[in-house]
Structure 1
Amino acid sequence: MNLRILSIVWGVRNMKTAIAFWSEALNYKLKKEPEPDFAILIPKNGQGIQLSLKLTISPEPKRHHIDLITDDQATEVQRLLNLGATKLKDWNYEEDADYVVLLDPDGNSFCVVQAP
């Protein structure tokens, strides 16, 4: 079997804000001109999976999640907060948690994991 991840599809409510945030956060760029309800972001260096943004108007919770890994969690968390992310309030972290839960500007949760 030769399956691999092509793309993560991320439901968003504000396409322009999501493109700006995730492009800067991940050092990605648009693959092509976005459609009003869909955009594809790819790594600027060409290495890695693509992130597809899909406009959603449903009031139901979005079903997606990304775990990001880094060698310098504190610096990356602060950088993401400066870009418009917020910390998820009232998260019950385990004693040995190696992750921080953040929300992107559209309210989607994601984790920043400290590499071992």
Structure 2
Amino acid sequence: MPLTLGAIILNVKDLGPAREFWTAALGLTPAGNPDFLLPPSTAPATRLHLDENDQTHLDLWIDHETDTLESEVERLISLGATRVEDWTYPPDADFVVLKSPDGTVFCVID
């Protein structure tokens, strides 16, 4: 049997605010150890993308049935995220680059 992707580890400066942000942003639930956050049981499997040029980051996909890209970006900003203003976007970009309060760069994808 092949291995399964068990966890993504984020190096954060302060566990409390990071836990609060990511729990609210992704609808996660603390499990056992309060620093282990589990997705809802209905969440799709997480993919692993390999790239020779990009930095390690999270890609977060919006739910088209309930959200738009801008509404989700605004929700995350209200939770403490900030836009990465100096990012170079391609002309047809379907994503926005944000930074969590703990400094983790992530993309919100339409």
TM-score (norm 1): 0.75
After TM superposition, the structure 1 = structure 2 runs for residues 50-69 of structure 1, keeping only pairs within 5 Å, are 64-69=56-61
How much does 1:65 deviate?
1.1
Instruction: Mark the runs of 5 or more structure 2 residues left unpaired by the alignment.
Output: 47-54
C-alpha distance in structure 2 between counterparts of 1:99 and 1:21, whole Å: 20
Among 29, 32, 46, which residue is 2:41 paired with?
46
Task: Please provide the CA RMSD for this pair.
Answer: 1.9
Hey, what's the Cα distance between the residues in 1 that align with 2:105 and 2:95?
12
Asked if 2 retains the 8 angstrom alpha-carbon contact of 1:101 and 1:109, the reply is: yes
Task: State how many pairs are aligned.
Answer: 97
Does the Cα contact within 8 Å between 1:11 and 1:64 map onto a contact in 2? no
- Within a 5 Å distance, the mapping from 1:6-85 to structure 2 comes to 6-34=6-34, 39-43=35-39, 45-48=40-43, 64-70=56-62, 71=64, 72-85=68-81
Query: How far off is 1:2 after superposition?
Result: 3.4
Aligned-pair CA distance for 1:4: 3.3
C-alpha separation in 1, matches of 2:70 and 2:2: 36
Q: TM-score, normalised by structure 2?
A: 0.79
Compare the two structures and name the one with the higher strand fraction.
Answer: 1
Structure 1, unmatched stretches of 5+, are 51-62
